[in-house]
Chain A
Amino acid sequence: MEYGTDHKFLEKLKQKDVLACKQLYLQYADAMYNVCLRILQHQAEAEDALQEAFIKVFNNIQQYRNESSIGSWIKQIVTNTCLNVLKKRKITFDELKDDVSESESVSENESENGNDYSIKDIKKVIEELPQGYRVVFNLYMFEDYSHKQIADMLEISESTAKTQLFKAKRKLKELLLAKKR
């Protein structure tokens, strides 16, 4: 069920009907918790951020215009809330170095087979990535944001967002290979 198109349900949310609010929360809580956990890598911080985000969702539901799905709208609020927490941690994003090119990444990619690694191993090495790499990697790979959207959210250039992703993938492969040996 896509709530964004359900006018009656939306009206109830705007009236802060407790059952409607809870229904919406239960529909998205699991997915949004995972968004927070991937960004913050800390259970208690993820829960705090999720709580803050859902309070924002319900207190600003009047601003939801039904232009996108309500799920996307909620995810945007949740992601921004988590990124604000990260900004307080003062993460840094390395600029693209001249010696790194996209073609280099392609040749590396072709030599690797993703199926060689278990989900558990990949999860583990994602956690080991430097924070800047990890955030961009997660936003791109798991939350399906574009480089442009990631750049806007993190207030960095699009090329920096691309570099971070490239470096994250390269680091991820290095760590996976090290694990394999």
Chain B
Amino acid sequence: MDNIEKHIKQHRKEFDVDFPNKNKLWDNIEQNIGTTKKVIPLWRNRWVQFAAAASIAGIITVFMLKTQPQQHTNTICSIDGVSKDFCMQVNDYESNIQQKLSTINTNEVSIPKEVENEVTLDSPMKVVLLNELKKNPDNPKIKDAILKYYKAKLELIQRIEEVLKKQDKTINNETDNSTVI
């Protein structure tokens, strides 16, 4: 072995370069190899379970606060005393949720009925939270609860979107496989 050969072998790693498009290439490969994914029934999904639990909790809360007059859902920004920052955060969540819902609808995929009520922007839970906010527009706990409400909704929609995509992909794969046969 000559000196240059030794030199190269000693510094072997330094000759390697980074692979910039590693993830992009994987996407292309994945599309061409027909991988399998475990399809979890929707009702076993923990987000759906969470949605169901949230739904039950919401109904109970509504009944408990029955004595209070039911008020029509209003935008949070129109409540006196609500800060601009909080208003913007809520607006961001609302527009994100609306956008995701319209994307799902334009793809001609229907949201399962079991969670339909949970993904819409208005719900009994929101009415309760708005009422509380009107009473205490600066209360951080109420604001936090409202943001968590939107966050949970958004996460649920994203999860549903993923499940629907997986189902769609599985159907496509099955169609492709049957075409090959």
Report which A residues bind B (CB closer than 8 A): 15-18, 21-22, 25-26, 29-31, 33-34, 37, 47, 50-51, 54-55, 58-59, 105-106, 108-110, 112-115, 117, 119, 122-123, 141-142, 169, 172-173, 176
Known: A30-B19, A142-B12. A16 touches B36 (CB 8 A): yes
Assuming the contacts A119-B11, A142-B15, asked whether A18 and B3 have C-beta atoms less than 8 A apart, the reply is no
Between A and B, how many residue pairs show CB distances below 8 Å?
95
Asked if A30 and B18 make an inter-chain contact with CB atoms under 8 angstroms apart, the answer reads yes
Chain B, residues 18-54, CB within 8 Å of chain A (1/0): the string is 1101100110111011111100000000000000000
Q: Which residues of chain B have C-beta atoms less than 8 A from A33's C-beta?
A: 19, 22
B5-A18 in contact (CB<8A): no
- Report A142 CB to chain B, min CB distance, Å: 7
Closest beta carbon of chain A to B81's beta carbon, Å = 50
Residues of A within 8 A of B36 (CB): 15-18
Instruction: Report the count of interface residues on B (CB-CB < 8 A).
Output: 29
Instruction: Across the interface, name the chain A residue whose C-beta is closest to B29.
Output: A54
B16 touches A34 (CB 8 A): yes
Given contacts A18-B30, A58-B35, A109-B4, 18 further A-B contacts (CB under 8 A): A16-B33, A21-B30, A21-B35, A25-B29, A29-B22, A29-B26, A30-B16, A34-B17, A37-B17, A50-B25, A51-B32, A54-B29, A106-B2, A115-B3, A141-B8, A141-B9, A142-B8, A173-B4
Are B2 and A112 closer than 8 Å at their CB atoms?
yes
With contacts A114-B4, A123-B15 known, is A26 near B22, CB below 8 A?
Answer: yes
Q: Are A141 and B34 in contact (CB under 8 A)?
A: no
How far, in whole Å, are A54 and B40 apart by their CA atoms in the complex?
Answer: 28
Please give the residue numbers on chain B whose beta carbons come within 8 Å of chain A beta carbons, in ascending order: 2-9, 11-12, 14-19, 21-22, 25-26, 28-30, 32-37
- Let me know if B33 and A55 touch, CB within 8 A: yes
16 contacts between A and B (CB under 8 A): A16-B33, A17-B35, A29-B26, A30-B16, A34-B16, A54-B25, A55-B32, A109-B2, A110-B3, A112-B3, A114-B4, A117-B4, A122-B15, A141-B5, A141-B8, A173-B4
Q: CB < 8 Å: which of B16, B18, B21 contacts A47?
A: B21
A18 in contact with B37 (CB, 8 Å): yes
